[in-house]
């Protein structure tokens, strides 16, 4: 209304001002015209008078002047301007014939004519100036006015354009709001919905008209109702706040929604809170699945190492306030690799799932059960005493040891169980044990303690790991408790493993050779390759110091491969056109059962140029207690290569004639424990004689180990033992000294061996 009144007033004022300007202009023009008309009339009268006076005589001139004077006065000529003409006519009237007076009268009339002419010119100039001034003023005025009109027109056009754009924007916004998939609502302070978009049907399953008029709290999850109420109170005017809620869908589903809440109570067109929500249920569920997968084992559904470590850390932190004990039970399946190899990985996965179910069933409700990787499981026990945790460990070992039916056949998979409790050493009595395998996880050794004397999660896991490997050394299915004394032993084992791995990389290992003597002739028939470690700080170490560690850590495979290649390379140099010298190489069980062992033997023979018949591979009798069929198949492959096979340490295990008949064996090595007493113990002599006789009956050669004096050598020769090996002839020596032993002509005697060794050393 006020805008319309101002607009009308402005228009009226414009009309009035325009009229005033026009009237004023016409007034000026009229005034100039009127003033010019009088002067021009005077000029005409005087002009005629001047013409008349100049042509008549004196009396006639007087008459003409007398007639003209009233007309000039009435025409507006000033009286003082007529005085000279009056005086001249008065003088002429007295003497009309006087030529001088007539001339004076004519001169006065002429002067008046010139005066009026000048005045007329002046008036014309003034009129021109006034015309020019009026033209300039009017032009400037109209220019300014026109510019103002153009400016107002442009402003009006801009306003119209803005209004059109705003209207179009509002239309687009209305269309977007109406068609958006997000739910847009306007709420009162009590959450009553005063407006809802049509998308309400797609989001919460309610039509917009059904949602309007009811409170939003009626469909908000009860746990989130206080959050929405608090947001309505705390959100400032014109401020917006992110919102995450759970809504109940019309079909009963629980939805996860997120959006923004804007306080527009002060906006006269809205007067409420604008709440915009979008359904993010799928995203939230996907995030939950990803989080679950990141913290759980996909095969068994148990917690993984990361989640277990996190919960163990929090348990240890809570322990500071409660002083409750925290225990970790670590289970490692025994011989699980055999299940995978014999029945396949699918069967192995089935075994793991079954074991996980058994562990979960035995563990307490509040205990955390995890699969740490491979066939290793762990249980976190809080608030239990050491005795209670030990009892749980025993129950776990028993439950896991129960037979499992997989792929139609029964499988027994035991578990070695290690237990570590925050209270320190267990109550169990310590027993002699070998060093356990170190923890392969890098943080198990170096993880910092939270406080001086406080165990970290890595510490407790490492302790349980140490105890678990102690259980493995005691036998399958055993349970062991951690003792602090084991820690230093584990670190020593770890250091030894690290040094041994470095020794393989840096060529710190060397091969020594112990001769095998033909007892009938006394000459060197071959050598046994024995590895030694030239340790940078501890000097030359025999195999007893590092082979057990290599077997436990898996380094025995690369170590055995290296020894095989070095022995073949050295043995190739022993051969001559007239003499074949054998080389014996010990083979570990892990080597023989590995898939590529046959290829490794072929590569060693090919690269060295050693004839296959000169290579004698020795396996221990204890290997035969494993998968006999697998071992037999591997040995047959080697025999087809023309490589010879020997049974080492024969007589110390459980071998029988049946084993020897089924296996492709060429040589039997009689263990030193029998040879030691063949000359002074009838029982050992009888056993040794039986082994030699049995071997001969199977066409197997025999080698007696550990021969240390001539009496033993004579007894063995008399018993038809083919070969002997021992300190009587030589200790294991480096390659140069072994070549010196080969160079001895005739039978090798102890004195000859000492001389040859001295020559080789020189």
Give the integer Cα–Cα distance in Å for 548 and 82.
158
Give the integer Cα–Cα distance in Å for 565 and 576.
20
Q: Is residue 293 part of a domain?
A: no
User: Which of 588, 590, 645, 634 has its CA nearest to residue 612?
Assistant: 645
Give the integer Cα–Cα distance in Å for 300 and 371.
8
The size of the chain, in residues, is 762
The dihedral sign for the CA sequence 445, 448, 451, 455: negative
Considering the domain architecture, whether residues 54 and 138 belong to the same structural domain is answered as yes
Q: Pairing mode, if any, of strands 723-725 and 701-705?
A: parallel
Considering the domain architecture, whether residues 679 and 739 belong to the same structural domain is answered as yes
Residue ending a domain, among 172, 204, 231, is 172
Q: Is residue 673 part of a domain?
A: yes
Give the integer Cα–Cα distance in Å for 686 and 223.
87
Considering the domain architecture, whether residues 600 and 694 belong to the same structural domain is answered as yes
Q: What are the structure tokens assigned to 30, written together?
A: 């009229």
Query: To the nearest whole percent, how much of the chain has pLDDT over 90?
Result: 27
Give the integer Cα–Cα distance in Å for 419 and 414.
16
Considering the domain architecture, whether residues 168 and 240 belong to the same structural domain is answered as no
DSSP state of 552: H
- 502-528 per-position pLDDT tens digit: 888 888 999 999 999 999 999 999 999
Residue ending a domain, among 434, 467, 495, is 495
pLDDT category, 491, cuts 50, 70, 90? low
pLDDT category, 392, cuts 50, 70, 90? very high
pLDDT category, 427, cuts 50, 70, 90? very low
Considering the domain architecture, whether residues 232 and 375 belong to the same structural domain is answered as no
Half-sphere exposure of 490 (CA within 13 A, CB side): 23
Q: What are the structure tokens assigned to 600, written together?
A: 């490794």
Considering the domain architecture, whether residues 646 and 746 belong to the same structural domain is answered as yes
Three-state SS annotation for 468-492:
HHHHHHHCCCCEEECCCHHHHHHHH
pLDDT at residue number 438? 37
Helices within 401-508 (DSSP H only) = 443-446, 457-474, 485-505
Q: Which domain holds residue 393?
A: 301-495
Burial of 441 (0-12, 13-18, 19+ CB in 10 A): middle
The dihedral sign for the CA sequence 605, 609, 614, 620: negative
Considering the domain architecture, whether residues 309 and 163 belong to the same structural domain is answered as no
Q: Is residue 208 part of a domain?
A: yes
Q: Which CATH number goes with the domain that contains 221?
A: 3.30.450.20
Give the integer Cα–Cα distance in Å for 473 and 270.
79
Give the integer Cα–Cα distance in Å for 359 and 379.
8
pLDDT category, 436, cuts 50, 70, 90? very low
- Which one has a higher pLDDT value, 289 or 249? 249
Considering the domain architecture, whether residues 209 and 251 belong to the same structural domain is answered as yes
Q: Are 278 and 259 in contact (CB under 8 A)?
A: yes
Q: What per-residue string of b and e applies to 346-383 under the rule 16 or more CB within 10 Å gives b?
A: ebbebbbebbbebbeebbeeebbbbbbeebbbbbbbbb
Considering the domain architecture, whether residues 314 and 166 belong to the same structural domain is answered as no
How high is the mean pLDDT of the chain?
81
Say whether pLDDT at 87 is over 60: yes
- 136-162 per-position pLDDT tens digit: 877 887 788 778 878 887 888 888 878
Considering the domain architecture, whether residues 318 and 440 belong to the same structural domain is answered as yes
Q: Are 379 and 396 in contact (CB under 8 A)?
A: yes
pLDDT at residue number 445? 33
Which residues 6+ apart lie within 8 Å of 363 measured at CB? 369, 379, 381, 392, 396
Q: Which CATH number goes with the domain that contains 667?
A: 3.20.20.450
User: Which of 187, 179, 175, 264 has its CA nearest to residue 219?
Assistant: 187
Q: Which CATH number goes with the domain that contains 473?
A: 3.30.70.270
Considering the domain architecture, whether residues 485 and 544 belong to the same structural domain is answered as no
Q: What are the structure tokens assigned to 182, written together?
A: 């997000």
Q: Is residue 120 part of a domain?
A: yes
What phi-psi label fits residue 300: left (phi over 0), alpha (psi between -120 and 50 degrees) or beta? alpha
Q: What are the structure tokens assigned to 599, written together?
A: 């290829």
In the chain, how many domains are there?
Answer: 4
- 224-241 per-position pLDDT tens digit: 888 888 888 888 887 888
Half-sphere exposure of 469 (CA within 13 A, CB side): 20
583 three-state secondary structure: strand
- Which one has a higher pLDDT value, 717 or 747? 717
User: Which of 441, 406, 447, 437 has its CA nearest to residue 500?
Assistant: 437
Considering the domain architecture, whether residues 419 and 346 belong to the same structural domain is answered as yes
Q: Is residue 295 part of a domain?
A: no
Which residues 6+ apart lie within 8 Å of 395 measured at CB? 362
pLDDT category, 440, cuts 50, 70, 90? very low
CA 153 to the chain's CA centroid:
61
Which residues 6+ apart lie within 8 Å of 665 measured at CB? 635, 645, 646, 647, 700
pLDDT at residue number 355? 93
- 157-192 per-position pLDDT tens digit: 888 878 777 666 556 655 556 666 788 888 888 889
Q: Are 675 and 712 in contact (CB under 8 A)?
A: yes
Give the integer Cα–Cα distance in Å for 52 and 55.
5
User: Which of 555, 517, 532 has its CA nearest to residue 437?
Assistant: 555
pLDDT at residue number 626? 64
pLDDT at residue number 450? 35
């Amino acid at each position: 209304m006020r805008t319309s009144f101002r607009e009308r007033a402005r228009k009226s004022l414009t009309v009035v001002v325009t009229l005033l300007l026009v009237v004023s202009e016409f007034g000026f023009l009229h005034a100039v015209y009127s003033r010019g008309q009088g002067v021009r009339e005077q000029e005409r009268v005087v002009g005629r008078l001047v013409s008349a006076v100049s042509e008549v005589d004196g009396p006639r001139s007087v008459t003409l002047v007398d007639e003209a004077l009233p007309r000039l006065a009435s025409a507006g000529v000033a009286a003082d301007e007529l005085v000279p003409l009056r005086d001249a006519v008065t003088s002429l009237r007295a003497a009309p014939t006087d030529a001088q007076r007539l001339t004076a009268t004519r001169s006065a009339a002429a002067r008046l004519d010139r005066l009026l002419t000048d005045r007329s010119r002046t008036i014309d100039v003034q009129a021109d100036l006034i015309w020019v001034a009026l033209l300039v003023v009017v032009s400037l005025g109209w220019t300014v006015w026109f510019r103002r009109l153009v400016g107002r027109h442009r402003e009006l056009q801009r306003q119209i354009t803005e209004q059109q754009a705003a209207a179009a924007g509002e239309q687009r916004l209305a269309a977007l709001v109406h068609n958006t998939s997000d739910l847009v609502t306007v709420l009162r302070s009590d959450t009553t919905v005063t407006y809802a978009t049509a998308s309400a049907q797609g989001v919460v399953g309610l039509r917009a008209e059904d949602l309007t008029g009811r409170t939003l709290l009626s469909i908000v999850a009860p746990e989130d109702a206080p959050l929405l109420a608090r947001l309505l109170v705390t959100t400032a005017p014109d401020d917006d706040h992110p919102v995450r809620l759970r809504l109940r869908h019309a079909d009963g589903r629980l939805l996860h929604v997120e959006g923004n809440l804007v306080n527009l109570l002060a906006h006269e067109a809205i007067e409420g809170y604008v709440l915009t929500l979008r359904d993010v249920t799928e995203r939230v569920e996907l995030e939950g699945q990803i989080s679950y997968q990141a913290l759980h084992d996909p095969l068994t559904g148990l917690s993984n190492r990361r989640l277990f470590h996190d919960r163990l850390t929090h348990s240890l932190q809570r322990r500071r306030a409660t002083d409750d004990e925290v225990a970790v039970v670590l289970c490692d399946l025994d011989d699980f690799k055999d299940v995978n190899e014999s029945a396949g990985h699918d069967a192995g996965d089935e075994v793991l799932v079954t074991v996980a179910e058994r562990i979960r069933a035995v563990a307490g409700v509040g205990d955390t059960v995890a699969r740490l990787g491979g066939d290793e499981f762990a249980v976190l026990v809080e608030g239990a005493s050491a005795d209670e945790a030990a009892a749980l460990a025993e129950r776990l070992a028993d439950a896991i040891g129960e037979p499992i039916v997989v792929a139609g056949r029964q499988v027994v998979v035991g578990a070695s169980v290690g237990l570590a409790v925050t209270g320190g050493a267990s109550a169990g009595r310590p027993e002699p044990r070998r060093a356990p395998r170190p923890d392969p996880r890098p943080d198990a050794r170096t993880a910092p303690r939270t406080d001086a004397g406080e165990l970290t999660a890595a510490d407790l896991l490492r302790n349980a790991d140490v105890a678990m490997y102690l259980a493995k050394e005691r036998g399958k299915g055993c349970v062991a408790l951690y003792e602090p004394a084991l820690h230093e032993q584990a670190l020593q084992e770890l250091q030894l493993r690290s040094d041994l791995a470095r020794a393989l990389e840096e060529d710190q290992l060397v091969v020594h050779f112990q001769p095998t003597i033909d007892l009938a002739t006394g000459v060197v028939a071959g050598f046994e390759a024995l590895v030694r470690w030239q340790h940078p700080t501890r000097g030359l170490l025999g195999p007893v110091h590092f082979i057990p560690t290599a077997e436990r850590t898996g380094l025995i495979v690369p170590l055995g491969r290296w020894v095989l290649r070095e022995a073949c390379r050295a043995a190739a140099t022993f051969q001559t056109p007239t003499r074949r010298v054998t080389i014996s190489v010990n083979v570990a069980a892990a080597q023989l059962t590995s898939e590529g062992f046959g290829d490794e033997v072929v590569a060693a023979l090919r690269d060295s140029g050693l004839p296959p018949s000169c290579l004698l591979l020795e396996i221990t009798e204890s290997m035969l207690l494993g998968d006999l069929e697998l071992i037999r198949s591997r040995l047959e492959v080697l025999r087809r290569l023309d490589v010879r096979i020997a049974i080492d340490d024969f007589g110390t295990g459980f071998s029988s004639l049946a084993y020897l008949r089924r296996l492709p064996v060429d040589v039997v090595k009689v263990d030193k424990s029998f040879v030691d007493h063949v000359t002074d113990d009838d029982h050992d002599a009888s056993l040794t004689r039986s082994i030699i006789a049995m071997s001969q009956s199977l066409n197997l050669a025999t080698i007696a180990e550990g021969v240390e004096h001539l009496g033993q050598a004579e007894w063995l020769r008399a018993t038809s033992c083919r070969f002997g090996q021992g300190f009587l002839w030589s200790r294991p020596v480096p390659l140069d000294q072994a070549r010196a032993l080969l160079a001895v002509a005739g039978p090798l005697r102890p004195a000859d061996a000492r001389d040859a060794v001295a020559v080789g050393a020189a």
